[in-house]
């Protein structure tokens, strides 16, 4: 069984927000809800300051604080390492949301559901289609799922996640500078593992102790 | 800026009250919102009522006072319990929260509250309910329930303001202190003058323990790390400043101190006891509010 992970080369990232938009399109996310973000900050002080550009998403931690906090087992780590949410079991206590040190979860309530991309003009046809094609359950928590549907559909067709586009997360496919690489962390010969080894890939804030499956090269 | 443009910006930069743009998410210390803002306000109230209910039950056992037991049991289970359920996104599935006692503090709490409900009911209805075995078991359950809300917060490693070692002692002292004050007022109303006067010694002890816990909590959080300092700064600046000054300093500390000094040496007065209870009731709510409101997450990007 593979253990899916991602490497993001922040030296390549040009902060185009393509990953953010691709993710929003893929999952029909309402306004204000982001499963992918590109953070822009600064390090140091003038004149020796540098700009930081960090694309972030759910880290699919193997020792996830959200999984530990969930009182119902709705949030769980799948065999392939993806941290998933079973919306049938979620009671909406938001313990997972508060526990996540990376704050990559969103509580989906009526206020979020009712948001319109063009406020006061009603939902567009695209938004209405999205609600049918990719419905979320009210009163539950939602987050990045590493495009599980794409992975599973692609693998059924014999494709390889991280290699074949149809079996690879939308944010990885969209990246115009190939800053993102997706693959199997348990395969020592996978591209993702070679990149982590060669470029000394680091997890974001490893001191949180949650063992993220997303690595950064900077 | 036209009204339409303003609305568009409100949409693109989420109207969740955070005022944080998507590209600035978590680059500065970021306040937790889920357990205090909007619907989260229910959780603040639920923790409070569950804990003072258990506190009242706990203190009532020492006086073998059934009316106190009944009131504490009802406050903890019905007031606290119902507000907890009102907070949930899917309350009809609340039963599922018993599923993960091995890892989840919330789940463990449901089991303890279930045991408290059943054994407490038995203690209240049986004639020999105040025997030593029952009392010890119920005292342990009460102490766990009193500290449960803060334990749930304390295990969240991501929020240093809640991970302080003083959070649990504070919650226990706070629950017992408010419970003791409710019971003292009940005795004052029913005319048990000797009991009221005797309880005043404990009121003095609990007040100073409460004050000490608060000071140690603030000191410990400030010295924990820079994120803890950010939490303390948030408490004394901006929108929380008024609540800290009036609620925490005024109602939780200064007024109860004045009332305690007035009744020093057991010279109790029913009206002053009522005023002190009202003051610590509002003060303790304020303390819990600022602790929940000022907890911040560590930024994701290293600045240095």
Instruction: Taking residues B179-190, report their average pLDDT.
Output: 96
Q: Is the ipTM of this complex over 0.95?
A: no
Predicted pLDDT at B21: 79
Is B167 a member of any domain? yes
Three-state helix/strand/coil letters over B41-80: HHHHHHHHHHHHHHHHHHHHHHCCCHHHHHHHHHHHHHHH
Alpha-carbon torsion, ordered B230, B231, B237, B243, to 10 deg:
180
Domain count, chain B: 1
Contact B34 A44 (CB under 8 A): no
* Closest CA of chain B from A100, distance in Å: 7
Which tokens sit at A2? 């593979």
Of residues B304 and A37, more confidently modeled: A37
Is B49 a member of any domain? yes
Please tell me the least confidently modeled range out of A95-109, B39-53, B72-86, B91-105: B91-105
Is B108 a member of any domain? yes
- Using the Cβ of B226 and the Cβ atoms of chain A, whether some distance falls under 8 Å is answered with no
Which tokens sit at A91? 């009671």
Specify the 3-state DSSP secondary structure of A92.
coil
Is B174 a member of any domain? yes
Looking up residue A209, the CATH number of its domain turns out to be 3.30.70.20
Is B7 a member of any domain? no
User: Taking CB atoms and an 8 Å cutoff, what residues of chain A touch B155?
Assistant: 69
Is B10 a member of any domain? no
- Residue range of the domain that includes B30: 26-297
User: Taking CB atoms and an 8 Å cutoff, what residues of chain B touch A70?
Assistant: 100, 103-104
User: Taking CB atoms and an 8 Å cutoff, what residues of chain B touch A138?
Assistant: 89
Is B302 a member of any domain? no
Which tokens sit at A164? 């074949």
Is residue B121 over pLDDT 60? Answer: yes
The pLDDT mean for chain B works out to 91
Confidence of residue B5 (pLDDT cuts 50, 70, 90): low
Looking up residue B97, the CATH number of its domain turns out to be 1.20.1630.10
Predicted pLDDT at B13: 60
The answer to whether the pTM exceeds 0.80 is yes
Is B160 a member of any domain? yes
Q: Which residues pair with A57 in a beta bridge?
A: A36
Is residue B9 over pLDDT 90? Answer: no
Instruction: Taking residues A120-141, report their average pLDDT.
Output: 94
Predicted pLDDT at A180: 97
Is residue A116 over pLDDT 80? Answer: yes
Predicted pLDDT at A120: 85
* Closest CA of chain A from B234, distance in Å: 18
Instruction: Taking residues A156-182, report their average pLDDT.
Output: 96
- Residue range of the domain that includes A98: 4-217
Is residue B252 over pLDDT 90? Answer: yes
Is residue B7 over pLDDT 70? Answer: no
**A50 DSSP 8-state letter:** E
Domain count, chain A: 1
Q: At what angle do helices B226-236 and B193-224 cross, to 10 degrees?
A: 130
State the burial class of residue B254 (Cβ atoms within 10 Å of its Cβ: 0-12, 13-18, 19+): middle
Q: At what angle do helices B255-262 and B193-224 cross, to 10 degrees?
A: 150
User: Taking CB atoms and an 8 Å cutoff, what residues of chain B touch A98?
Assistant: 32, 34-35, 156, 158-159
Of residues A44 and A168, more confidently modeled: A168
């Amino acid at each position: 069984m593979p253990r899916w992970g991602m490497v993001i080369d922040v030296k390549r990232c040009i902060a185009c927000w393509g990953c953010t938009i691709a993710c929003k399109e893929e999952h029909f996310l309402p306004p204000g809800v982001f499963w992918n973000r590109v953070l822009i900050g600064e390090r140091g002080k003038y004149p020796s300051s540098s700009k930081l550009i960090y694309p972030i998403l759910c880290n699919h931690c193997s020792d996830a604080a959200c999984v530990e906090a969930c009182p119902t087992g709705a949030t769980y780590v799948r065999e392939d390492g993806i941290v998933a949410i079973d919306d049938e079991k979620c009671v909406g206590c938001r313990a997972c949301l508060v526990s996540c040190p990376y704050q990559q979860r969103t509580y989906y309530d009526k206020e979020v559901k009712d948001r319109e991309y063009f406020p006061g003009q009603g939902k567009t046809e695209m938004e209405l289609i999205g609600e049918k094609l990719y419905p979320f359950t009210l009163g539950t928590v939602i987050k990045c799922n590493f495009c599980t549907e794409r992975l599973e559909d692609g693998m059924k067709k014999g494709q390889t996640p991280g290699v074949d586009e149809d079996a690879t997360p939308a944010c990885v496919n969209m990246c115009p500078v190939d800053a993102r690489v997706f693959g199997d962390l348990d395969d020592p010969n996978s591209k993702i593992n070679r990149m982590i080894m060669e470029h000394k890939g680091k997890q974001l804030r490893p001191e949180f102790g949650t063992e993220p499956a997303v690595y950064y090269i900077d | 800026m036209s009204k339409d443009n303003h609305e568009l910006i409100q949409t693109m930069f989420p109207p969740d009250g955070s005022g944080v743009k998507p590209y600035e998410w978590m680059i500065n210390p970021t306040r937790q919102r889920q357990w205090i803002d909007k619907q989260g306000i229910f959780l603040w109230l639920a923790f409070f009522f569950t804990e003072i209910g258990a506190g009242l039950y706990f203190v009532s056992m020492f006086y073998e006072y059934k009316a106190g037991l009944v009131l504490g049991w009802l406050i903890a289970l019905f007031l606290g319990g119902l507000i907890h359920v009102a907070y949930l996104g899917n309350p009809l599935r609340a039963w599922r929260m018993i599923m993960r006692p091995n890892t989840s503090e919330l789940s463990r709490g449901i089991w303890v509250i279930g045991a408290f409900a059943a054994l407490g009911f038995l203690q209240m209805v049986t004639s020999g309910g105040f025997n030593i075995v029952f009392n010890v078991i119920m005292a342990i359950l009460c102490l766990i329930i009193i500290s449960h809300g803060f334990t749930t917060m304390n295990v969240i490693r991501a929020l240093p303001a809640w991970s302080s070692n003083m959070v649990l002692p504070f919650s226990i002292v706070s629950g017992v202190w408010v419970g003791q004050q409710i019971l003292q007022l009940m005795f004052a109303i029913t005319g048990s003058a000797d009991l009221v006067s005797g309880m005043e010694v404990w009121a003095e002890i609990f007040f100073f323990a409460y004050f000490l816990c608060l000071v140690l909590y603030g000191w410990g959080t400030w010295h924990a790390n820079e994120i803890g300092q950010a939490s303390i700064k948030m408490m004394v600046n901006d929108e929380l400043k008024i609540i800290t000054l009036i609620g925490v300093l005024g109602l939780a500390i200064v007024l109860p101190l004045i009332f305690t000094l007035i009744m020093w040496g057991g010279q109790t007065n029913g009206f002053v006891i009522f005023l002190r209870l009202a003051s610590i009731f509002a003060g303790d709510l304020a303390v819990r509010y600022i602790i929940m409101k000022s907890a911040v997450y560590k930024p994701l990007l290293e600045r240095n």
